[in-house]
Amino acid sequence: MGQFYSDPPSQGTLHNIVNGIWSKNYRDIVVSKMEGFSFLFRIPNVATRNRVINQGLWQIEGQTMFVDKWEPGVVPVKPELTSAPIWLELRNVPFQFFNEDGLERIAGLVGHPKRLHPMTANKTNLEVAKVFTVIDPRKPLPEAVNAQFESGEICRVLVSSPWMLPLCDFCKEIGHNAKRCPRATKSCSFCASSDHVLAACPSKPKQGLPGRKTRRGRSKEKKSWAPVEVQNPALMGAQKILDAPDTAKVAGSAHVEQSHLSARSDYTAGASSNVISQSSKSEMILHSKPEVKLAPRQII
């Protein structure tokens, strides 16, 4: 069962986030909304379930969520945010201190160490030592601590953490950021955020940009016929110009209309005539090729 300290994200957003950070391979976690700021998580994998419960506090969308085992009729009580368990990452640790006793002493300078990470306990990665430590989130995390050898030599160890409780810049409370603060004034009316004003909102669509062109938006009325000049070697250098699809003009005095060409009564099929139609007889005369008579082949 997870309980938020302030206004939580939506159920769909929470479902996508917890499946991404808790169950990347299977994405089989089911999220159910409960009363108030509470959610119920069904985690089938036992190892994943224990890992989520043992950490206790999780940061989701800039909000802090407390997770504990759920039992029917029992509502877990959220702890006060005076302490938070985190993974401390220690770098530049001398090899003499790279053991359970030495790492707990170094982590004790920051908080209360609980256990070592399995990779740190097995010395798999000697560059970074991870110690699960309970700290006071109201105090800033130091950038480094000094580890002193028995000889008196001092070594500087870098301290960091991949996750820290968010601190609100507006109300100075722990558990949420200024974007989720219920007391902050919403300066942006578009996305209800207090980080920026409406003019600088990254979610607002920008004006003045050209619209997206689509094939469906094309109009057929924009099409127009243009004269095309065609060179025909069969006309002995004459030019044939097509002005429109209904009328064709041939160089000279000939003029042929589409209505004359499509009338069947103007000509007889199969007849060899030099005249195209009776109506255009006086307008156009086509010269046919002279017939060539072949002499009979003589057999020698």
> Pick the residue with more confidence: 250 or 77?
77
Q: Residue 143 domain-assigned? A: yes
Percent of the chain with pLDDT over 70: 64
Q: Residue 117 domain-assigned? A: yes
Q: Residue 282 domain-assigned? A: no
pLDDT average, residue stretch 204-222? 56
- Model confidence at 107: pLDDT above 90: yes
* Digit-coded pLDDT (tens) for 242-280: 444 444 444 444 444 444 444 444 444 444 444 444 444
Tell me, yes or no, whether 154 and 184 share the same domain.
no
User: Phi/psi class of residue 288: alpha, beta or left (left: φ > 0; alpha: ψ in -120 to 50)?
Assistant: beta
- Model confidence at 287: pLDDT above 90: no
Range of the domain at 186: 168-197
Question: Chain-centre distance of CA 77, in angstroms?
Answer: 38
pLDDT value of position 47 = 93
Q: Residue 232 domain-assigned? A: no
Q: Residue 60 domain-assigned? A: yes
The Cα–Cα gap between 78 and 83 comes to 12
The Cα–Cα gap between 288 and 224 comes to 37
Q: Residue 12 domain-assigned? A: yes
* Confidence category of residue 238, pLDDT binned at 50, 70, 90: very low
* Digit-coded pLDDT (tens) for 6-65: 788 899 999 999 999 999 888 999 999 998 889 999 999 999 999 999 888 888 887 889
pLDDT value of position 181 = 79
Q: How many CA atoms lie within 13 A of 294 on its CB side?
A: 3
Q: Where are the beta strands (DSSP E) in the chain?
A: 2-4, 30-33, 38-42, 57-60, 63-67, 84-91, 112-116, 128-135, 144-148, 154-160, 228-231, 239-242, 247-249, 255-257
> Among residues 67, 96, 111, which one ends one of the domains?
67
The Cα–Cα gap between 123 and 132 comes to 16
Tell me, yes or no, whether 154 and 98 share the same domain.
yes
pLDDT value of position 231 = 59
Q: Residue 133 domain-assigned? A: yes
* Confidence category of residue 81, pLDDT binned at 50, 70, 90: confident
- When divided into structural domains, the chain yields a total of 3
> Pick the residue with more confidence: 216 or 41?
41
pLDDT average, residue stretch 199-220? 60
Tell me, yes or no, whether 176 and 152 share the same domain.
no
- Structure token pair of residue 228: 């095309």
Tell me, yes or no, whether 100 and 124 share the same domain.
yes
Q: Is 259 exposed, middle or buried (0-12, 13-18, 19+ CB in 10 A)?
A: exposed
Tell me, yes or no, whether 113 and 96 share the same domain.
yes
- Model confidence at 84: pLDDT above 80: yes
> Pick the residue with more confidence: 151 or 136?
136
| Distance between start and end Cα atoms, the chain | 116
Q: Residue 186 domain-assigned? A: yes
